[in-house]
Structure formats: C-alpha cells, structure tokens
Chains A and B, each alone.
Chain A
Amino acid sequence: MASADSETRPGETEAIPQAVKIIIAGGFGAGKTTMVASVSEITPLSTEEVMTEASYGIDDLGGVEDKTTTTVALDFGRITVNPDVVLYLFGTPGQDRFWFMWDELAEGALGAVILADTRRLETCFHAVDFFERRGVPFAVAVNRFEGAEDYDTEEVRRALDVDAAVPIVLADARDRASCRDVLVALVTHVIRGRSPALSG
C-alpha cells in the first residue's frame, strides 16, 4: 500500500534513513571516480566546496569578491543498503593542495579504500599516513593498470608498511564485482576491529 502519506507522517523521525560513508582515496588517475561509478546506484554526482579565508575562522563573506577562494569538487555515489541505511562513497579530491577537505571527509567515516596504482605506488603514501593518523580503518585495493609491473599483495604491504591486519586486495576499479570484494574486505575489517577498539 503505497499511500502518498506514508513517508510524511508527522513525528515519524525514524523514517529518515541513517547515512554512513566510505572514502575512496588514492593518487590522481588511480581509479577513484571509476570505482565510485562501478558500485553507485546513481550516476555519480559532484558537489563543490568553495574554500575561502573564511574556512579559517572568518564568519562573514560579505565582500567575497575581495577574498581568495578556491573550489574543490567531490565525486560521490550512493548505495541504498536497506530502507534505514544509505551508504555514500566519496572520492577524495586529487590534488595535494586539497588536503584540507580530507578532514571533513574523514569525520565519522566508516572506513576508507586506498587505491594503489602500481605504476606510481608512492602516490598513495600520503593517504596511508593520513588514515593511520586519523584512526580511520582502511583497505588497500591494488589497481593493476596495463603496463604496470606486477606486484603481489605482500610486496605492496611491505612497500606501504601497513599492519598485517589491513586487507590488501587486487582489484579492477572498472569491475563491479571486484569493487564489491574490496568493500566487503574493508567492512569486514572494520567490524572485526570494532570491538577491541571500543575499550581502548
């Protein structure tokens, strides 16, 4: 019975789903947007954040034309997990100068996927550092592009110097099933790490 009223009953606060997010990080061209698109139920969207001096504590932007501003685009997709839970996947902005957006993305994030491009493995070192410092659980997806040297997951683990518990999965960001496996590995890791983490 799909009455038009069903989603707008007054006081029905429970009808608003809970949203959670996973961050998709990695260097420029590592496949972040591709991965979001592979699993999203909607065509990936892009939202723009305008950063100004105001981001550093000035509350009034009345004379915006006098101030320096820069815009950051964030790609994201959505997966409706069930009627009560919606998962959002956010790709990190590519350039280093947009690190300031990472703080906001990391806030309350369930976890992160770091896409490691084996042609340029060092481009994800910063992401690994960031999530370790912030205590955001992550999984590494090794994206093997044509012409890239073959790395196995243990070589990647050594190169990134990540804990043995961190999942490292070979992946293809263009393939939905492959992306699913990466996300399953991440969320399983998050759930496993949750209970002991609570006491510490």
Chain B
Amino acid sequence: MTAQEERRGRASRRAVVPWYPGRGHPTSEGPAAGLSPGGTSEGALVRPYTLTRGRVRPSAAGPRLDLITIVVAARDRRERPLEPECRAILELCRRPISVAEVSARLDIPLTVVRVLLGDLLADGDIRTRAATPVSRLPEKKVLQAVLDGIRRL
C-alpha cells in the first residue's frame, strides 16, 4: 500500500471504534499492572505511603487539591515538629506554588503530596486560593489575560 492509499484508507476518524460510556477510552487497557511486587520502584513507593499512613486521599473536609491548585505557606503558622517532607513542602510554599509543582520539585508522587498538603491545610500551615468548583471554567477576564500573556511570548 502506498502512503497515499494508506492515508485515504485509514485517515478517517469516524472509522475508528466508537466510544462507549464509562471512564477512559474504548482502547484503554485501564491502569494496567505496572510495578509488580518486588519491582524496582517498590521501595520508593512504600516510604511515601508510610508518610501518609496509608491514605491515598486528602481529608474530605478540606478543599479539593487539583493539579493546579495554588498553595502558599501561612505566615502565622505554629512551630512544631514535622516530617522532613512536610518541612520541605513548607519551604517551597514560601511563594505561591501549584500542587503539581510541589510534587515535581520534591519528587513525591502527586497522590502523596495531596494528602500531605491536606494535612498542612487542616493544621493551618498553608492556605490555598478560595476553592472554585472544579468544573467551573475560567472567567472571561482571565481568558483575556491569558491571551494577552501568550501574545507576549
């Protein structure tokens, strides 16, 4: 088959498997088993989850911590002993920073960072921008600011 024929034959999106309801995508294998017990990353996994005492979700009481939720250390926090990871988080949060960035810079998985940030929030060590519903889209004036910012690139 020539490239031309191949393109004609295949390059039509409607010919692909139809969508069906449910999470993910029809072609998805789902979160496949990646790291088997005893795999190389196991050690790296156990420590973070020990830190969170096994929890994979921040306390339901707190605001949602999205990938781009911005957090900042509270100025008037009460000094007390903290896990080194939490101290490192507070250090980073001296300036406003996103949850994803905290995770990347400290090399702590997102799930774990969310739990730790949830604890710090509950204890008044950090604060976050007033929660907006996740599904709410940015306001028009924010979009305009983004457009102006991008134009300056």
Q: Which of A60, A65, A176 contacts B42 (CB 8 A)?
A: A65
Q: Which of A102, A105, A176 contacts B67 (CB 8 A)?
A: A105
Q: B143 and A79: CB pair below 8 A?
A: no
- How many chain A residues touch B (Cβ–Cβ < 8 Å)? 84
B59-83 vs A, Cβ < 8 Å mask (1 yes, 0 no): 0000000111110110110000000
Residue in B closest to A159 when the chains form the complex, CB atoms: B11
CB of A146 closer than 8 Å to a CB of B: no
Given A69-B35, A85-B145, A183-B150, answer yes or no on A107-B103 (Cβ-Cβ < 8 Å).
no
Q: B149 and A70: CB pair below 8 A?
A: no
Q: A49 and B28: CB pair below 8 A?
A: no
Q: Give 14 A-B pairs besides A71-B109, A100-B28 with Cβ atoms closer than 8 angstroms.
A: A10-B76, A45-B100, A50-B112, A51-B34, A59-B55, A60-B55, A61-B54, A70-B32, A81-B150, A97-B29, A149-B7, A161-B14, A183-B153, A184-B151
Instruction: Show the binding face of B for A, using Cβ within 8 Å.
Output: 3-4, 7, 10-14, 16, 19, 23-25, 27-37, 41-42, 45-46, 49, 52-57, 66-70, 72-73, 75-76, 95-96, 98, 100-101, 103-105, 107, 109-112, 127-130, 134-138, 140, 142-151, 153
